[in-house]
Amino acid sequence: MDGVQVYSIPFPPLKPKENESPIDSDMSHTQKIPISMIEKNEKLSNGNCNWENTLKKQQHQPLLHYAIINIGTAYLSPGQTRKNTTIVITNGVIDCIGSDCDILSDYKVFDLKGGTVIPGLIAAASKLGIVELASEIATQDGKASMTDPLNPIRAVDGLRMMGKELSSVFKAGVTSSISVPQFSTGNIFTGISVAVNTSAMIYNNAVIQSEVAYHVMIGNQIRGQGTSGSISGQIALLRKTLRHLALNKPKDDNLLKRVLKGEVPLAIHTHQADDIAKILALKEEIEQISKSTLRLIIVGGCESWMVKRDLFFHLIFVFYFYYFLLFIIIHTILIQCYKLLYNIIYMIYIIF
């Protein structure tokens, strides 16, 4: 496994001489290792295997006091931008935005040279903090079948921080993630997602919001035995569960009850246009019984463009997860092209 290095100098044995047995009784052919090298690597091993030292090496200390100058464009919120501005951060919080901000002498200064500042990106419906290596069960929360929709699996209970993937996405500008429990075959009820701070190293500092949305899977990817073996069976099970709650109105406060009230979003993972249309029809049916509006989110929605008018009528939010990844790639390429163009113009200006 890729982890913290223990020995910096490998000790391979020397190959046996020609016409000599690979296993020599007096071991005369093996490499003589100096005592100093052994002592050095023992110290390295003891230091690296210590949990506190490992944590200190992996943990990045965030800057609390710094300033960003010569910002070409700063996107602050939808419809609000600033041109040729400066941002000053004090104690990790934006203290000043403008051209007349005071920068103290002990603040670290970053010169963007006309670059762009955007808010931190959010990874939607991801497995960050839930799965580190898909092929290694020890690095992930695992898959469990949720038999009781009223007591769903919570992604917040399966978080594991300090992963390399979390560190990588944070450095790339993804500052938070809506992480979803892993789905299992034959079970449409996935569980409750959690909002995660990707820069956090410890669980206590990682949770932004413990309950974000109630997730349900509809499609071929979860076909199993029994009711979930067909799309019609999956939708029938979802209808039965929601209708039962809407008609009986249980007194206990469970998450699905809050979903029916519109307090918590219902995120349904599906792709085909026909399945999206069926879910919209089910939404109308449940709303007529519950007398409230469901906050429905379609996650994935590869064919959602085919039912865009119906989605607009219901004001449904479609989460294009794959488009989100494409946006990050295009954004990175555009930034690099901008820097290259800026350098070319600057060189022409100097020469002429």
Q: What is the pLDDT of residue 252?
A: 72
CA-based nearest residue to 144, from 155, 128, 159, 160? 155
Instruction: Quote the number of domains for the chain.
Output: 2
Asked if residue 192 belongs to a domain, the reply is yes
Same structural domain for residues 78 and 177? Answer: no
Output the pTM of the full model: 0.68
Same structural domain for residues 133 and 94? Answer: no
Q: What is the pLDDT of residue 79?
A: 83
Beta partners for 25? none
Question: Residues with Cβ < 8 Å from 167, sequence gap 6 or more?
Answer: 58, 60
Residue 190 CA from chain centroid, whole number: 17
Asked if residue 179 belongs to a domain, the reply is yes
Same structural domain for residues 111 and 224? Answer: no
> Long-range contacts of range 39-44, CB-CB < 8 Å, 24 or more positions apart?
40/9, 41/6, 41/7, 41/8, 41/9, 44/5, 44/6, 44/7, 44/8
Last residue of a domain, one of 119, 154, 181: 119
Asked if residue 330 belongs to a domain, the reply is no
Q: What is the pLDDT of residue 44?
A: 47
Q: What is the pLDDT of residue 18?
A: 56
Beta partners for 191? 215
Same structural domain for residues 149 and 94? Answer: no
State both tokens at 141.
């929360």
Q: What is the pLDDT of residue 318?
A: 63
- Tell how strand 214-217 and strand 266-270 pair up: parallel
Distance CA 37, CA 35 (A): 5
Residue 242: CB atoms within 10 Å: 23
Phi, then psi, of 128 in degrees rounded to 5? -65, 130
Taken in order 44, 45, 49, 50, is the CA torsion positive or negative? negative
Asked if 179 and 130 touch (Cβ cutoff 8 Å), the reply is yes
Alpha helices in 172-272 (DSSP H): 231-248, 255-261
pLDDT tens, residue order, the chain (352 aa): 455 455 555 555 555 555 554 444 444 444 444 545 444 444 444 444 454 555 544 555 667 889 999 999 999 888 889 999 999 999 888 899 998 999 998 999 999 999 999 888 899 888 888 888 877 888 888 777 666 788 888 999 989 887 888 888 888 889 999 999 987 777 888 889 999 999 888 888 899 999 999 999 998 877 766 667 788 989 999 999 999 888 887 777 788 888 998 899 999 999 999 999 999 999 999 999 988 889 999 998 888 888 888 887 776 666 555 555 556 667 667 777 777 787 788 777 777 6
Asked if residue 30 belongs to a domain, the reply is no
Q: What is the pLDDT of residue 156?
A: 92
Same structural domain for residues 198 and 112? Answer: no
Asked if residue 222 belongs to a domain, the reply is yes
Same structural domain for residues 142 and 291? Answer: yes
Asked if residue 321 belongs to a domain, the reply is yes
**For residue 303, what is the domain's CATH number?**
3.20.20.140
**For residue 90, what is the domain's CATH number?**
2.30.40.10
Q: What 8-state DSSP symbol labels residue 142? A: -
Same structural domain for residues 251 and 265? Answer: yes
Task: Report the 3 state secondary structure along 178-194.
Answer: EECCCCCCCCCEEEECE
Asked if residue 53 belongs to a domain, the reply is no
Asked if residue 177 belongs to a domain, the reply is yes
Taken in order 304, 307, 311, 312, is the CA torsion positive or negative? positive
Same structural domain for residues 253 and 104? Answer: no
Same structural domain for residues 152 and 206? Answer: yes
The domain containing residue 158 runs over which residues? 122-325
